[in-house]
Amino acid sequence: MSRPTARSSRWSAIVATTLLVALAGCGVEPEASPRDLPEDEQELNVSDPAADTSATGASRVYFIGPGEERLLRSVQREASSEFELMEILLQGPNEEEAQAQYDTAIPATTELLSASTLAGAGVLTVDLSSDFEELDTQALIQAISQIVYTASEWESVESVQIEIDGQRLSAPTPDGNATTQPVRIYDYPNSVITSQPAFPATPLTGTA
């Protein structure tokens, strides 16, 4: 192997010096190890995670979808409990969904007093304020359908007992009957659109 000549050594030194000067001129200094950037130098924008009505999440709630049929469609939401899921349902469609002509039969003034599941029974008891009961029969059927289909998205829920101020609601059903017993999605057939929802695109489950 040949040894480097004095000329090549001088040339290497000149190149190295030139690079150091260029880096210094740009204000860039080499660092011995990585470092965390100060907060004021970080450019990454992080969205606010506390958007309760955003159409994302593993859970789903049911609203009245667009179209003359006024069938229910599911939209995505993030909920950590049955109570939170019911609260989100009562908030109604978000702005984007409203622009897409999504609606709700549940009165905006309805308050959720409680929502709890009886251990091992699969029954979710939903206690609502009296505003809910003031709907006409058809609107009440739709509102109950929204609650029942939404609640049934929760794994432990098989049926829903609806109460008004602690008293069992005589819930009308599409067949013209009424019951004070817990109701299931099978009591409200043909309430949900059978094809995949158009907004957002989420497959339906639990429908006949």
DSSP string computed for 96-124: HHHHTT-B-SS-TT--EEEEEEETTTTEE
H or E stretch at 21: helix 6-25
Q: With beta carbons less than 8 A apart as the criterion, state whether 62 and 145 touch.
A: yes
Q: What is d(CA 76, CA 203) in angstroms, rounded to the nearest whole number?
A: 11
Radius of gyration of the chain (CA): 30
Q: Is residue 95 part of a domain?
A: yes
Tell which phi-psi region holds residue 190, choosing left (phi > 0), alpha (psi between -120 and 50) or beta: left
State how far the alpha carbon of 1 is from the alpha carbons of 4, 8, 20, 29, 90, in Å. Answer: 10, 15, 30, 36, 82
Long-range contacts for 3-9 (Cβ within 8 Å, ≥24 apart)?
Answer: none
Q: Is residue 159 part of a domain?
A: yes
H or E stretch at 76: strand 72-77
Half-sphere exposure of 20 (CA within 13 A, CB side): 6
Scan for tokens 């309805």, then name that residue. Answer: 110
Instruction: State the total domains in the chain.
Output: 1
Q: Is residue 156 part of a domain?
A: yes
Query: Can you give the pLDDT at residue 118?
Result: 80
Domain span at 162: 59-187
Determine the residue type at 183: V
Which pair of structure tokens corresponds to residue 60? Answer: 């789903």
pTM of the entire structure? Answer: 0.67
Which parts of the chain register pLDDT below 70?
1-57, 194-208
Q: Is residue 112 part of a domain?
A: yes
Q: Is residue 208 part of a domain?
A: no
Query: Can you give the pLDDT at residue 22?
Result: 47
Peptide bond into 30 cis (omega under 30): no
H or E stretch at 14: helix 6-25
Q: With beta carbons less than 8 A apart as the criterion, state whether 85 and 101 touch.
A: no
Q: Looking only at Cα atoms, what is the longest distance across the chain?
A: 104
Q: With beta carbons less than 8 A apart as the criterion, state whether 73 and 65 touch.
A: yes
Q: Is residue 54 part of a domain?
A: no
State how far the alpha carbon of 196 is from the alpha carbons of 5, 32, 168, in Å. Answer: 76, 56, 34
Q: Is residue 177 part of a domain?
A: yes
Q: Is residue 29 part of a domain?
A: no
